[in-house]
């Protein structure tokens, strides 16, 4: 349970960043408000998928395996959120960050998947 909280803390940070990025001026038209609501919904959906996947992960008794299995959906959610940023975001610096997140997190997912495959018990 302690490990899950360690994973959740960075998620709150990402949520805060996403909330700031999607806030809009109250004087803008309803079209922008509807778009912001849709974009927020996309971000929230990616977080919900991540939480559901993490919650459904049963402990294996091996901390290394459990860590990797919980990090996989965490990284995938980061990729999903970054793709949403690239579709709708305007700030060049944040768009560049989103692209770096996609590249880095995908590489780490591949590494973790390879590690899991290698760490599977060999059947006789």
55 inside domain: yes
Q: What is the pLDDT of residue 109?
A: 98
| E-assigned strand segments in 1-124 | none
115 inside domain: yes
pLDDT in tens, 65-102: 999 999 999 999 999 999 999 999 999 999 999 999 99
25 inside domain: no
**How far apart, in Å, do the first and last CA atoms of the chain sit?**
34
68 inside domain: yes
How many helices (DSSP H) and strands (DSSP E) are in the chain? 4, 0
pTM of the shown model: 0.70
pLDDT in tens, 4-36: 545 555 555 555 555 555 554 444 455 777 777
Residues 85, 94 contacting (CB under 8 angstroms): yes
Written as six digits, the tokens of 112 are 């973790």
2 inside domain: no
Which of 72, 63, 55, 85 has its CA nearest to residue 112? 72
Q: Determine the Cα–Cα distance for residues 47 and 43; give it in Å rounded to an integer.
A: 6
Say yes or no to pLDDT of 120 above 80.
yes
CATH of the domain at 100: 1.20.1260.10
The number of folded domains in the chain is: 1
| Coil, strand or helix at 33 | helix
């Amino acid at each position: 349970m302690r490990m899950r909280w360690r994973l959740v803390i960075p998620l709150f940070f990402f949520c805060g960043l996403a909330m700031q990025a999607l806030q809009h001026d109250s004087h803008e038209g309803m079209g922008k408000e509807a778009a912001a609501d849709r974009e927020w919904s996309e971000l929230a959906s990616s977080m919900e998928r991540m939480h559901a996947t993490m919650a459904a992960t049963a402990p294996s008794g091996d901390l290394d395996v459990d860590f990797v299995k919980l990090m996989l959906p965490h990284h995938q959610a980061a990729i999903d959120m970054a793709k949403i940023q690239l579709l709708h975001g305007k700030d060049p610096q944040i768009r560049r960050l989103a692209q770096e997140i996609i590249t880095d997190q995908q590489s780490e997912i591949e590494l973790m998947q390879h590690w899991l495959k290698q760490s599977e018990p060999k059947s006789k």
